[in-house]
Amino acid sequence: MTSDPEWQARYEDRRQAMVDLQIAGRGIDNPQVLSAMRCVPRERFLAPEMRAQAYEDRPLPISEKQTISQPYIVAYMTAAMQLTGGGSVLEIGTGSGYAAAVLAEIANRVVTVERHKSLADRARKILHELGYDNVEVVQADGTLGWPEGAPYDGIVVTAGGPSVPRALKDQLAVGGRLVIPVGDRETEQALVRITRVSEDEFHEEQLSRVRFVPLVGEAGWQQR
């Protein structure tokens, strides 16, 4: 990231405008989510040639044919977990690391799982540089979750699967919420929120229609 103070001020101004117009302006009013989105420098998670587009209202490409999600979607999915601050969160699909940083502004501890080594390594480096020492980046099959850190107060999946992996439901704390895109096509899904009511009871609700990259793994779409 450039150290030019003028550019720093421009990024800051764009970030605040992004929250006001794209997020709060669309009805997201969770104060913790809004505060987190105001704090995290999205430009740091993009390649230098993409940083001028950091606060545009759209997803942007990163390596490994993946994307950094539209800011509104990051805020929407974070708000959907209804986190109250503190606690432990699991993210499936680290990607650039941007959403993990947003979660780290709210939760005490974030575990984020990425199947691509190059993405995991880069996200780990950037998160460390930004001081997010409460984030653990793991390279693994995210469809299996990360049982070593369970149970989680919230789980968010940033790729669309054909069904809800049982392992993720099992790793959810009672009272916790899992937010995941689910659909029978790889290119279009319903965003689903699952609340664990008790050890054996789950409540499921559909929130909206979304489009995410495929969730690949043992309990997701098969690697092509």
Q: Which of 3, 35, 69, 118 is catalytic?
A: 69
Give the amino acid at 138: V
Judge whether 69 lies within some domain. yes
**pLDDT tens digits, 74-119:** 999 999 999 988 999 999 999 999 999 999 999 999 999 999 999 9
Residue 43 lies in a domain: no
Task: Give domain status of residue 101, yes or no.
Answer: yes
CATH number at residue 182: 3.40.50.150
Would residue 22 count as lying in a domain?
no
- Asked, for residue 26, whether it belongs to a domain, the answer is no
**Res. 222: pLDDT tops 90:** no
Count CB-CB contacts under 10 A for residue 197. Answer: 11
On whether residue 86 sits in a domain, the answer given is yes
Please determine, for residue 3, whether its predicted confidence score (pLDDT) is greater than 80.
no
Q: How far is CA 14 from CA 7, 19, 60, 67, 81, in A?
A: 10, 9, 16, 20, 26
Q: Is 69 considered catalytic here?
A: yes
- 152 in a domain, yes or no? yes
User: What is the pLDDT at residue 158?
Assistant: 93
pLDDT digits (tens, 9 = 90+) for 156-201: 999 999 999 999 999 999 999 999 999 987 678 999 999 999 999 9
pLDDT given for residue 132 in this prediction? 98
- Confidence (pLDDT) at 214: 87
Q: What is the mean pLDDT of the chain?
A: 93
- Which residues form the domain of 194? 59-210
Burial bucket for residue 11 (CB in 10 Å: 0-12, 13-18, 19+): buried
Question: Which residues face 214 on adjacent strands?
Answer: 160
Q: What is the pLDDT of residue 1?
A: 37
* Extended beta strands in the chain, E state: 60-61, 67-68, 88-92, 109-114, 135-139, 152-157, 172-185, 188-196, 202-210
Count the domains in the chain. 1
Which of helix, strand or coil describes residue 188? strand
Q: What is the pLDDT, as a whole number, of residue 2? A: 44
The arithmetic mean of pLDDT across residues 54-68, rounded, is 93
In a domain, residue 48? The reply is no
Where residue 221 falls among pLDDT bands split at 50, 70, 90? confident
Non-local CB neighbours of 88 within 8 Å, separated by 6+ positions: 107, 108, 109, 110, 111, 149, 151, 152, 153
Q: What is the pLDDT of residue 137?
A: 98
